[in-house]
Amino acid sequence: MRKALIAAFLLLAATVGAHAYDVKEIGSYFIGGHIQTLSGMPEETVYFYPGAPPTAYNPNGDVHTGQMYVHFVRLAQPRGKVPVILVHGGGLSGTGWESTPDGRPGWQQFFLAAGFDVIVPDQVERGRSNWSRYPQIFTSAPLFRTAQEAWTLFRIGTTYETDPAKRVSWTGGQFPVANYDDFVASFNARWTTTDAIAQAAFDQMVDRECPCVLIAHSAGSGFAIRAALRAPDKIRALVGLEPSAAPNPTTIDIAKLKSIPTLFVWGDHLGDYPDWQKIVVNPYKFQDGMTAQGAKMDVVHLPERGITGNTHMMMLDKNSDQVAGVVRDWLVQQGLAQ
């Protein structure tokens, strides 16, 4: 009996140990937005595929706009005290948190394995949040980021060419450049006139999911900081990954953020791009403003820790788990994991 029990115990323990995390629920929902009634557009005859019979199509009627897609993975026994919400940056959707372009597990999995429930929204208009007709609902046309622009804006290298062999990246750079085109496949159309509706849905998500940790990348930091200003008691910690949208503190009531432990993380080669010297001005002022009011404000420039070569897309870089570890360790220091 005892031997059998020990054997059963070891088998069960091995089963539990064989996976990264025990999941209670995986799912998603839409939040925010509203039904809008469209009228006045002409009816059309459409062909649903080449050679299909003609079909009458009436574009007028009720559609939903302004909603946000929110994906969640909830653990059976989370060790994190609150969930982590991973907020993507501009022109992207939540896919960059799931896996890296070269097929390694993303930060979603890292923080699940670290014991946190993980929430991944797609900003309004992006990815599974779905976009709305323009100019009937969205008032402007969308912008599409090119591979050229991202190569330098995201500090992957200096020279982009369509031919991958001719692209120049940094020696020691961490981006998995052999899979750069797979990264470009994740780019989303973006609008410049939707910030208000996107913020409204974001705030509703915060009301539903928080207290929480917000980990926000790039332009996503704007949504996260505005959400924190609206409901500071709901945000247990705020992490900005190259938070380009952090505002000049003189334009906000930064005192509201005083009790939120905050960490900003910066990659490499910031000094090699004149555009980045402009981009960091307000975020650096924000850091100083938080520090000046006595807030818990930590800043990590990865190269100063000997972690070199990181791009703007640090959650996709080859050392993405190492960078995630910096954030996880900081969250543990804040007492947010058991």
Q: How far is the CB of 145 from its own copies (least distance, A)?
A: 8
Instruction: For residues 146 and 156, give the distance between their C-alpha atoms in angstroms, rounded to a whole number.
Output: 14
Instruction: For residues 66 and 16, give the distance between their C-alpha atoms in angstroms, rounded to a whole number.
Output: 41
Q: How far is the CB of 185 from its own copies (least distance, A)?
A: 4
Q: How far is the CB of 295 from its own copies (least distance, A)?
A: 26
For its own copies, the closer CB: 48 or 233? 48
For its own copies, the closer CB: 59 or 211? 59
For its own copies, the closer CB: 120 or 302? 120
For its own copies, the closer CB: 63 or 299? 63
Instruction: For residues 225 and 212, give the distance between their C-alpha atoms in angstroms, rounded to a whole number.
Output: 13
For its own copies, the closer CB: 48 or 250? 48
Q: How far is the CB of 225 from its own copies (least distance, A)?
A: 14
For its own copies, the closer CB: 284 or 330? 284
Bridging pattern class, strands 262-266 and 235-241: parallel
Q: How far is the CB of 238 from its own copies (least distance, A)?
A: 20
Q: Output the six-digit token pair for 310.
A: 């990181």
Query: What residues are paired with 214 via a beta bridge?
Result: 85, 238
Q: How far is the CB of 251 from its own copies (least distance, A)?
A: 11
For its own copies, the closer CB: 129 or 263? 129
Bridging pattern class, strands 84-87 and 118-122: parallel
Q: Output the six-digit token pair for 120.
A: 């991944």
Nearest to 176 by CA among 310, 304, 266, 271: 310
- 105-to-17, 83, 144, 239 alpha-carbon distances in Å: 18, 19, 27, 20
User: In this structure, are residues 41 and 61 in contact, taking their beta carbons and an 8 Å threshold?
Assistant: no
For its own copies, the closer CB: 130 or 158? 130
The Cα angle at residue 117 between residues 72 and 315, in degrees rounded to 5 = 85
Q: Is the peptide bond before 135 cis (omega within 30 degrees of 0)?
A: yes
Q: How far is the CB of 310 from its own copies (least distance, A)?
A: 21
Q: How far is the CB of 332 from its own copies (least distance, A)?
A: 22
Instruction: For residues 240 and 218, give the distance between their C-alpha atoms in angstroms, rounded to a whole number.
Output: 7
User: In this structure, are residues 87 and 209 in contact, taking their beta carbons and an 8 Å threshold?
Assistant: no
